[in-house]
Amino acid sequence: EAGVVQSPRYKIIEKKQPVAFWCNPISGHNTLYWYLQNLGQGPELLIRYENEEAVDDSQLPKDRFSAERLKGVDSTLKIQPAELGDSAVYLCASSLGQVHEQFFGPGTRLTVL
Amino acid sequence: QQPVQSPQAVILREGEDAVINCSSSKALYSVHWYRQKHGEAPVFLMILLKGGEQKGHEKISASFNEKKQQSSLYLTASQLSYSGTYFCGTEGGGSRLTFGEGTQLTVNP
């Protein structure tokens, strides 16, 4: 069974530039999560989808971050414009539901210069 | 609110035991445990639900005290492969999973 796929794995951009991350969850997983993980910290939820609906986006900085999950499968997280403080690992995870184990992708390490 | 994990770090010799604790200030519906190795994604270990149900790997042992809003992860006869950072995530019923800052476990030969 294929795991959660994320791309790119690494991204280096200059501040004020836009950036996008892509996630393909495990087939059949209706719930998809985007997390931000800073060095030495636990993952912090940015947004949770149930199918194509964003059911928890209260922690998503909507002035610069946006996300979509078209057709309830793949998802894209975008930052525009990026700031120095956005440097972190962005993790995507999927699960069969909220109270089920989450399968994490390898993450995208973003460096903003 | 972020759960508090203790200890922050622990160093063991292979074969020794360890306990990692997770405490929350709010009522909990479930507690989740994950392990993350350096540069890798977090990997699921166990979910403990209010009411006593548990889902997880057979070799992992954990407890959930609903009244005290605390959970503990028990690592017995540790192996080198147990090294990594352990995160607990707490969920208050219908709300988000909030992860602690992690406990760094090092197992030496």
pLDDT by residue, tens only, chain B of 109 residues: 899 999 999 999 999 999 999 999 988 999 999 999 999 999 999 999 988 888 887 678 999 999 999 999 999 999 999 999 999 999 987 668 899 999 999 999 9
Give me B23's structure tokens.
């405490």
Give chain A's length.
113
How big is the A-B interface in CB pairs under 8 Å?
A: 53
Q: Do the Cβ atoms of A103 and B44 come within 8 Å? A: yes
Instruction: Collapse the DSSP code of B107 into the 3-class scheme (helix H, G, I; strand E, B; otherwise coil) and give the result.
Output: strand
Which of B97, B98, B101 is most worth mutating to test chain A (most A CB atoms within 10 A of its CB)? Answer: B97
Residues on chain B touching A56 (C-beta within 8 angstroms): 95-96
In chain B, which residue's Cα lies nearest the Cα of A49? B96
